[in-house]
Structure 1
Amino acid sequence: MAKIVMIGAGSTVFARNLIGDILSFPELADSTIALVDIDAARLRTSEIVAHRVAEALGAHPVIEATTDRRQALPGADYVINMIQVGGYPAALVDFEIPKKYGLRQTIGDTLGIGGIMRALRTIPVLLEIGRDMEELCPDALFLNYVNPMAINTWAFTEATRIRAVGLCHSVQHTLEDLAGDLGVPVEEIDFLAAGINHMCFYLRLKRKGEDLYPALRRLAAEGRVREDDRVRYEMLRRTGYFVTESSEHFAEYVPYFIRGQNPELIERYNIPLDEYPRRCEAQIADWERLRRELEAGQGVLEVRRSVEYASLIIHSLETGQPR
């Protein structure tokens, strides 16, 4: 029976998705799921969600919840990290201070000044987790979902002896976007993606042996692209390949689109400046609604498999099934 620790489990919706993915496998349905968060209120909501997910799936896991990760880590086989150090207030600082000096951002969690600021406050916490793991569960696999992805995972693997992998969902979600753009079922697309996590490119896109890139290039050449995806299609036109990171992310990964001396580019490529704080506000409102419904015993909790890789990795390691 696997023991899976989720640090930052107060990210209730994301935790719900991962728990649902894990418990949907019969071989993992009796796992121990240890939820950890420093916010007791959010942790309580996530614990309710975990029990509801297990009930919906007919699974019988052992569900634990604690605000002290050292209580949860002993005996862990897998540690899933999904914390946000400083939360929404710190994210606002990442935007507001650079803005005073003319540096504009969209998401600010991976590269540029926002990514650096986030890394500087996150890496020390990650290394504390790593040291606890070295002491309490040295053979566990660390699955990191925390941004800035490449910086954090690099720091963790350099500074600790713990096995680690950095995970994101941009490859999976972008494939769904492209399937919609091309009007083909996503499950019929055969792809090969490569690159640094948070900036991969599709080297191959095929459907039943047919190369899909000519059709994508026609969309780009004719300007028949979604309003919120102009950046990626411009990069396709320039490089010949489609990048997996969303247009709002990618716009700040390269120095071509958000330029103080060329403000017209913001409108031309429909770049949503200050997008991340708006998303945070929406997520906070959604969590409050979910909390009220759960604590009142209301609402239907929908459980369906997500596209996240974490459960697939855990299942393969537990069963030996190749993927």
Structure 2
Amino acid sequence: MSFKIAIIGAGSVGFTKKLFTDILCVPEFKDIEFALTDVSEHNLGMIKAILDRIVEANKLPTKVTATTDRRKALEGARYIISCVRVGGLEAYADDIRIPLKYGIDQCVGDTICAGGILYGQRNIPVILDFCRDIREVADTGAKFLNYANPMAMNTWAAIEYGKVDTVGLCHGVQHGAEQIAEVLGAKSPKELDYVCSGINHQTWFIELRLNGRPIGKDELVAAFEAHPVYSKQEKLRIDVLKRFGVYSTESNGHLSEYLPWYRKRPDEITRWIDMSDWIHGETGGYLRYSTETRNWFETEYPQFLEAASKPIDPAKRSNEHASHILEALETNRVYRGHFNVKNNGVITNLPQDAIIESPGFVDRFGINMAAGITLPEACAATCMASINVQRMSVHAAIAGDIDLLKLAVLHDPLVGAVSTPEEVWQMVDEMVVAQAAWLPQYADAVPAAKERLSKAKVKTREWAGAARRNVRSIEELRAEKAALKQAG
């Protein structure tokens, strides 16, 4: 087989390498072309060198090109994969820093809440540019695979306004299933059969079977509470399981910022999170992790390049959906996964226009969703709160409507639990002004926002958050890695 895959945001070096090696685990794909594109020529150079080394080491005919000219990369592409972070870590830092001034403590801030909504405002204009280029220069009927957050908003904009065949992809379901299989004592995650459905980052395991035996709420609660690690790291998730009756896919930290109950007061935050790793609820945890990862990669790049000389091992193919979707579409080997698509009746008690994440099957006819799923009422209610915020956020981003943007932020569950309308209005003005370079649709609104801020009356505070850790130096990371290696 010979076709072209374009990867936008290929400068996300580690993730691009994973997608690349996964796809090349499919024997039929050795003759394909990868076209890498990114706004950073520096990052492009690094990832191309790594992928070229992999191709050379494995004696493959695979072609790898790299360019900052996105349209050139997209020309004739059958598949386009996006893993962009618009605004980079600079804008992301403001997604965390500014809401903290108003008492809003986020762990990740990339899906909803104040940070996720502004992230969407930065992404959506760029996503629409991608879609325009796909329509104009990519292969007829090209498929757009979006890995970038905020997943639902990006996918919503690409489908509704970009008019491109789009699917959103995430790995939260797989990770949640692995946890459940582990606590139930399964020898392999493959022993667990499940139906998991909802919206991205709020997906729910509504049916579980271990080797064909149904697993109920009480057995699952007992298994998690008995686990020596998860009982400490996932306290909030376990509490939601007890109250809702079903387990959420998302980590303790992610889930905590989508709900109005657990991060509304500093003392409550420390009660429900765990500081053993950022993903369990640390304030700005993913920002710290991303910053450390970038610094580490820049410093240790020669080692990453050397590691690329190893043979590709198909047994180590990851559970990221992309390679499996492409394999199913091109070879007709059926793949079952969980995909982000427009609802259109798949989940009976969520809106038709919402972007849902639910089970589907892929073959040469495309992605075929399992329809007629009904969520438990509490799960549907929680998803609905986020869907309403996502819808307003997408519409605000398309129109450049700062008033609608403020209403979207006001209706966010955690923001509403913490902040007053006056605080929200001022906070959004501050975020739009700080991120104006990445918000072209709000250019006309920025001068008035600056004027309002010059007369601001709402008091703010410089607050690091309830559970903040400093970014570790390269020396500290090396020492920690050495200690772990010695302990292992």
Q: Deviations over 1:106-165 (max 9, x none)?
A: 100001110111011111111111111111014210000010000111011111221000
Aligned-partner Cα distance in 1 for 2:295–2:301: 10
Which of 193, 196, 199 aligns to 2:199? It is 196
Residues 32 and 61 in structure 1, CA contact (< 8 A), matched pair in contact too: yes
Amino acid of the structure 2 residue aligned with 1:198: H
Q: Distance in 2 between matches of 1:53 and 1:206?
A: 39
Does the 8 Å CA contact 1:236/1:243 hold for their aligned counterparts? yes
Percent sequence identity is 38
**2: CA distance, partners of 1:140 / 1:39:** 25
Amino acid across the alignment from 2:294: I
Please tell me whether Structure 1 or Structure 2 has the larger radius of gyration of its CA atoms. Answer: 2
Q: Deviations over 1:248-289 (max 9, x none)?
A: 1010011111103xx322122113221121111221123214
Q: Residue 255 of structure 2 corresponds to which residue in structure 1?
A: 250
Alignment match, 1:167: 169
Partner of 1:273: 283
Match of 1:292 among 302, 319, 325: 302
SS at match of 1:173: helix
Is 1:205 matched with 2:217? Answer: no
Matched with 1:61 is 62
CA distance in 2, matches of 1:59, 1:212: 46
- 5 Å matches for 1:22-171? 22-137=23-138, 138-171=140-173
Separation in structure 2 between the aligned mates of residue 180 and residue 294 of structure 1, nearest angstrom = 31
**Alpha-carbon offset, residue 299 of structure 1:** 7.4
Structure 2: runs of 5+ lacking an equivalent: 274-280, 336-488
Instruction: State the alpha-carbon separation in 2 of the partners of residues 155 and 52 from structure 1.
Output: 36
Coordinate RMSD, CA, aligned: 1.9
Q: 1:312 aligns with which of 303, 319, 324?
A: 324
Distance 1:238 1:223, change over 3 A: farther
Query: 1 CA distance for matches of 2:52 and 2:231?
Result: 39
Q: Secondary structure in 2 aligned to 1:80?
A: strand
What code does the residue aligned with 1:17 have? K
Q: Structure 1 residues 51-60 or 284-293, which shifts more?
A: 51-60
Q: How many residues align?
A: 320
Q: Deviations over 1:9-38 (max 9, x none)?
A: 111110011001101101112111111111
Query: Residue 91 of structure 1 contacts residue 277 of structure 1 at CA under 8 Å; is this kept in 2?
Result: yes
8 Å CA contact 1:221, 1:237 repeated in 2: no
3-state DSSP of counterpart to 1:226: helix
Cα distance in 2 for partners of 1:167, 1:277 equals 21
Q: Do the aligned partners of residues 234 and 198 (structure 1) sit closer, same or farther apart at CA in structure 2, a change above 3 Å counting?
A: same
Residue 179 (structure 1) aligns with: 181
Q: 1:264 is matched with which residue?
A: 267
TM-score after normalising by structure 1: 0.93
Q: Provide closer, same or farther for how the CA distance between residues 27 and 287 of structure 1 changes in structure 2, counting only shifts above 3 A.
A: same
The answer to whether the Cα contact below 8 Å between 1:35 and 1:64 also exists between their aligned partners in 2 is yes
Task: Map Cα deviations across residues 81-110 of structure 1 (whole Å, 9 max, x no partner).
Answer: 001011111110001111111111010000
Pick which of 126-135 and 279-288 moved more: 279-288
- For structure 1, the residue ranges without an aligned partner over 5 or more in a row are none
Does the 8 Å CA contact 2:35/2:64 hold for their aligned counterparts?
Answer: yes
Distance of 1:73 and 1:202 partners within structure 2: 37
Look up the SS of the partner of 2:77 in the other structure: coil
Letter in 1 for 2:213: E
**Is the partner of 1:63 in helix, strand or coil?**
strand
- Name which of structure 1's ranges 47-56 and 270-279 shifts more when overlaid on structure 2: 47-56
Q: Counterpart of 1:219 in structure 2: which amino acid?
A: A
TM-fit CA distance, 1:207 = 1.6
Q: Structure 2-normalised TM-score?
A: 0.63
| 3-state SS of paired residue (2:121) | helix
Partner amino acid, structure 2, of 1:254? L
Tell me by how many angstroms 1:298 deviates: 6.7
Q: Tell whether 2:221 aligns with 1:217.
A: yes
- Relative to structure 1, is the Cα distance of residues 64 and 255 closer, same or farther in structure 2, using a 3 angstrom cutoff? same
Contact 1:189 1:206 (C-alpha < 8 Å) held by counterparts: yes
Give a deviation string over 1:222-269, Cα, whole Å, max 9, x none. 686432211111111011111111111010011111103xx3221221
After TM superposition, the structure 1 stretch with the greater mean CA deviation from structure 2, 285-294 or 11-20, is 285-294
